[in-house]
Chain A
Amino acid sequence: MTARVSWPDRLRGLAIPAALLLLWQWAAHHSTAYAYAFVPFEQVWRGAVQALESGGLLPNLGASLARTCAGLLIGSVLGLALGGVLAMSTLADKLAGTLFHALRQVPLLAWAPLIGLWFGNSEPARLLVISLAALYPVTLNTFEGLHQAESRHLELASLYQLTAWQQFWRVRLPAALPHVFTGLMHALTFAWISAVGAEMLFSAGPGIGSMMLTAETNQQMEIVLICVITISAMGTLMNHALTLAARRLLRWHR
């Protein structure tokens, strides 16, 4: 689907969205039953302009992004450490591997009620959820990557009589980096989604999830829609940015 698309084909691709939008607009003006749900475009547009000008959207988005970055940082650092320890020490793996996998089976946001009981409706509660979201993929991929080092490279390392430490830095870690990046990418996507979820579950304070939930309570569909679009666009954008960064940083690998 990424191949070059001709102009007529592009227009054909726009046909369904256009039809859906027209239907939406028609429903907004003609159906009274869902008048609060199907808001007309002009209202969505006014809402968008207002949210941008009076500053509702940007501070909330900024708070969510900052929170995601903080959680991503905490979760990735811990995940790198945990994945590294589990990969390099069989004892640690045997001792903690099962526990890690058992805890991982719980759907992430199912932890929220317990975290809520421990930390209340607070920033640490939200950060914990996001960090956990980032921790899983980074740990798993770091572990995988460190185990992936090719045996011929390791044989060469032992031939050169590298110490375990040197072997780690010069052979295993470089081989693991592409995996680590994959892990970070999954972590970013997952952290962003769970940040939105955490903000809806612990909705005190600024954040795009809390903003959306407040708008829902006030039946402001236009604000809800603007938030949905912003969240999806940010997710896609961050993913693209990290893919580009990974391609650039890992140029030596291919």
Chain B
Amino acid sequence: MSLSLPLPLRGPHWRRVLAHPAFLLVSPLALLALWQAACNSGAVSPQLLVPPLQVWRTALSLAASGDLWLNLSASLYRLAVGFVSGTVLGLLVGALLGTSPRFVVWVGPTFNVLRQVPGIALVPALILLLGVGEAFKIVLVGKAVFFSVALATSESIRAVSGRWSEVGTLYRLSRWQQLRHIALPASLSPVLTGMRIGLNRAWMVLVATELIASESGLGQMMEMARQMFQMDVVMVGIVLTGVIGFGLDRGLRLVQRMLLQRQGGQQ
């Protein structure tokens, strides 16, 4: 988790202490301890900072009352639907952009212009178009995933076919066979990276959207808590959005590694 590579295990004693993996936990734990101590001592007013233990208790009571699950499932549902549809469409358009020069001529310019529009800037326009329902949030999630996946797919296919098309021609593979046996397997890893970036962006846009306009979801839970000055609920939301974002990214990384290993085993 540290920014640098692990230190070699030699040199003076303190270096060995630093290299110990447990040392990485020092700063987060120290921050928590300091935070709790500052709240306990009364030096910091409870309006400014609630102690970590209270955040923990609030999280438990939110979980027990079922509020948390309701909001969490609302957010994750939007993310899942948007992610799947964005990925499918992105793969399709990306593959076409990567293989067909004619498609690039017709669709490329539109694609490149729309790609420049930041998702968050579309929130008001989409609310006016689709209303404050589920649809506009799913569209925003899908949009974030779609452009990342489509771009990664088209760029990797183009890079691969440049490098490998000669081999394909040598083996007299048809264009479809080249796509199926060369371009797709080789672009698996970059496409998964595109999906990861897309998911990351989608999660950020979704939380922001729920903060601005929603009846449910983690973002809405935080926004309500802000309006009622419940700092502990806000902090539960911050921790949870962070953990979910991190978990999703790690999950996709794991899938990526597993798929690549399987691919390596087959070859």
Query: Footprint of B on A, CB under 8 Å?
Result: 1, 5, 9-10, 12-17, 20, 34, 36-37, 86-87, 90-91, 93-103, 105-114, 116-118, 140, 143, 147, 192-194, 196-197, 200-201, 209, 212-213, 215-216, 219, 221, 224-225, 227-228, 231-233, 235-236
Query: In the bound complex, how far is the Cα of B241 from the Cα of A36, in angstroms?
Result: 35
Docked-complex contact A117 and B234, CB < 8 angstroms: yes
Which stretch (B65-73, B81-89, B112-120) binds chain A? B112-120
Docked-complex contact A97 and B1, CB < 8 angstroms: yes
Report A122 CB to chain B, min CB distance, Å.
Answer: 14
Residues of the B chain whose Cβ atoms lie less than 8 Å from the Cβ of A37: 128-129
Query: Footprint of A on B, CB under 8 Å?
Result: 1-4, 7, 15, 18, 23-28, 31, 48, 104-110, 112-113, 116-118, 120-125, 127-129, 203-204, 207-208, 211-212, 219, 222-223, 225-226, 229, 231, 234-235, 237-239, 241-243, 245-246
Known: A96-B27, A105-B246, A107-B245. A212 touches B124 (CB 8 A): yes
Query: In the bound complex, how far is the Cα of B103 from the Cα of A16, in angstroms?
Result: 11
Docked-complex contact A93 and B2, CB < 8 angstroms: yes
Docked-complex contact B120 and A101, CB < 8 angstroms: no
**Neighbour of A110 across the interface among B3, B108, B219, CB < 8 A:** B219
Docked-complex contact B222 and A213, CB < 8 angstroms: no
Docked-complex contact A13 and B110, CB < 8 angstroms: yes
Docked-complex contact A91 and B223, CB < 8 angstroms: no
Docked-complex contact A98 and B204, CB < 8 angstroms: no
Residues of the A chain whose Cβ atoms lie less than 8 Å from the Cβ of B2: 93-94, 97-98, 101
Docked-complex contact A102 and B117, CB < 8 angstroms: no
Docked-complex contact B237 and A101, CB < 8 angstroms: no
Q: Which residue of A lies closest to B206 (CB)?
A: A107
Query: In the bound complex, how far is the Cα of B1 from the Cα of A93, in angstroms?
Result: 10
A-B pairs with lowest CB-CB distance, top 5: A216-B124, A13-B109, A106-B242, A107-B204, A113-B226
Question: Would you mind naming 6 contact pairs between A and B with Cβ atoms under 8 Å apart?
Answer: A1-B112, A94-B24, A98-B26, A113-B234, A215-B124, A235-B118
Report A124 CB to chain B, min CB distance, Å.
Answer: 14
Docked-complex contact B243 and A109, CB < 8 angstroms: no
Query: In the bound complex, how far is the Cα of B157 from the Cα of A132, in angstroms?
Result: 35
Residues of the B chain whose Cβ atoms lie less than 8 Å from the Cβ of A193: 118, 120-121
Docked-complex contact A110 and B241, CB < 8 angstroms: yes
Q: Which residue of B lies closest to A13 (CB)?
A: B109
Docked-complex contact B120 and A114, CB < 8 angstroms: no
Report A76 CB to chain B, min CB distance, Å.
Answer: 18
Known: A114-B234, A228-B121. A101 touches B211 (CB 8 A): no
Query: In the bound complex, how far is the Cα of B113 from the Cα of A228, in angstroms?
Result: 12
Docked-complex contact B243 and A113, CB < 8 angstroms: no
Query: In the bound complex, how far is the Cα of B118 from the Cα of A209, in angstroms?
Result: 12
**Neighbour of B212 across the interface among A101, A140, A200, CB < 8 A:** A200
